[in-house]
Amino acid sequence: MRLASWNVNSIRQRETHVARWLERVQPDLLFLQEIKCEAPAFPALSFAALGYRAEVVGQKSYNGVAVLSRIPVEVTHRSLPGLPTDDAQARYIEVRAGGITAGGLYLPNGNSGGPEGYAYKLRWMDLLAGHARSLLAAETDLALLGDYNVCPTDADFSPGALSPDDALLRPETRARYRRLVWLGMTDALRAMQPTGKIFTFWDYQSAAWQRDSGLCIDHALLSPRLAERLVSARPDREERGREQPSDHVPIVVEIGDK
């Protein structure tokens, strides 16, 4: 089973990038973040032509997540369980597919909106950990993948790419990411490459891509039994070199058969 995640920074700007990538990589599930549109504006037809159906949790202008699948899926959640029902931010979608549960997430950045904005990020991470804990308690084969907006360690960003007090690397942020890992989840990218640089994002500014000044903020966490089936996990850096790319590249995780 091939799982993937990609923050596309507007699906309408990246429609052809995504279509070509689906043809090239052929994932079973592709989770998308920052689609930046409501469901009716999602270009579902061009993906349907390639054999992928879309489940969309849309939002105008900001955020927005979706999943494209070439296998049957049942949507289990369209928002993170535990958030207030009036929370309008489209950041979570979860499906059952191919015998596993897979959540696609777009975690709040936390640098905007002052102290409230950062508190929202931490609250979101607390709820994510609580949700993961209950799924794992029920022996669910679980994958949580997406744009976490967290650099877990100092190996996960280039020197100078972030200010020292950035919300992506504050101790409170990292502690909450570790709490997720300590539930028994395996960071698939790091399991495949324990040391050295792994980047999934390069800023559009300051020639960050040309200088390879990047961040590792897109992650795939796997429950214990899925981790045992892990075959490969990698960011697809090729996509960052294209014309008018997203600032993030896709991550691809291969899970072997049971």
Partner DNA sequence: ATGACTGAGCATCTCAGA
- Rounded CA-CA distance 132/143 in Å is 9
As given in the structure block, the two tokens for residue 254 are 């291969």
Q: How far is the CB of 56 from DNA (least distance, A)?
A: 14
CB of residue 247 to DNA, shortest distance in Å:
6
User: Which is the catalytic residue, given 28, 141, 147, 156?
Assistant: 147
Among 106, 120, 148, 177, which one carries the catalytic annotation? 106
**Interaction residues for DNA, span 152-191 (CB under 7 A):** 162, 168
State which of positions 123-152 bind DNA (CB under 7 A).
Answer: 147, 149
Compute CA 219 distance to the chain's CA centroid, rounded to the nearest angstrom.
6
The yes or no reply on residue 194 touching DNA (CB under 7 A) is: no
Catalytic residue check, 156? no
Residue 211 to residues 49, 64, 161, 202, Cα–Cα distance (Å) = 37, 30, 11, 9
Range 122-130 contact pairs with CB under 8 angstroms and sequence separation of 24 or more: 122/172, 122/173, 122/176, 124/80, 124/83, 124/91, 125/173, 125/176, 125/177, 125/180, 126/176, 127/80, 127/81, 127/82, 127/83, 128/80, 128/180, 129/176, 129/179, 129/180, 129/183, 130/82
CB–CB of 17/24 below 8 Å?
no
Contact flags string 32-71 toward DNA, x per CB under 7 A: --x-xx----------------------xxx---------
CB of 234 to DNA, least distance (A): 19
Binding of residue 112 to DNA (CB under 7 A): yes
Does position 233 interact with DNA (CB under 7 A)? The reply is no
Tally of helices (H runs) and strands (E runs) in the chain: 6, 14
Residue 177 among the catalytic residues: no
Q: Does 197 bind DNA (CB under 7 A)?
A: no
134 vs 206 by CB, closer to DNA: 206
Nearer to DNA, 29 or 215 (CB): 215
Residue 169 beta carbon to DNA: minimum distance, rounded to whole angstroms? 9
Chain residues in the site for DNA (CB under 7 A): 7, 9-10, 12-13, 34, 36-37, 60-62, 108-109, 111-113, 117, 147, 149, 162, 168, 201, 203-206, 215, 217, 244, 247-248
Q: Which residues are catalytic?
A: 106, 147
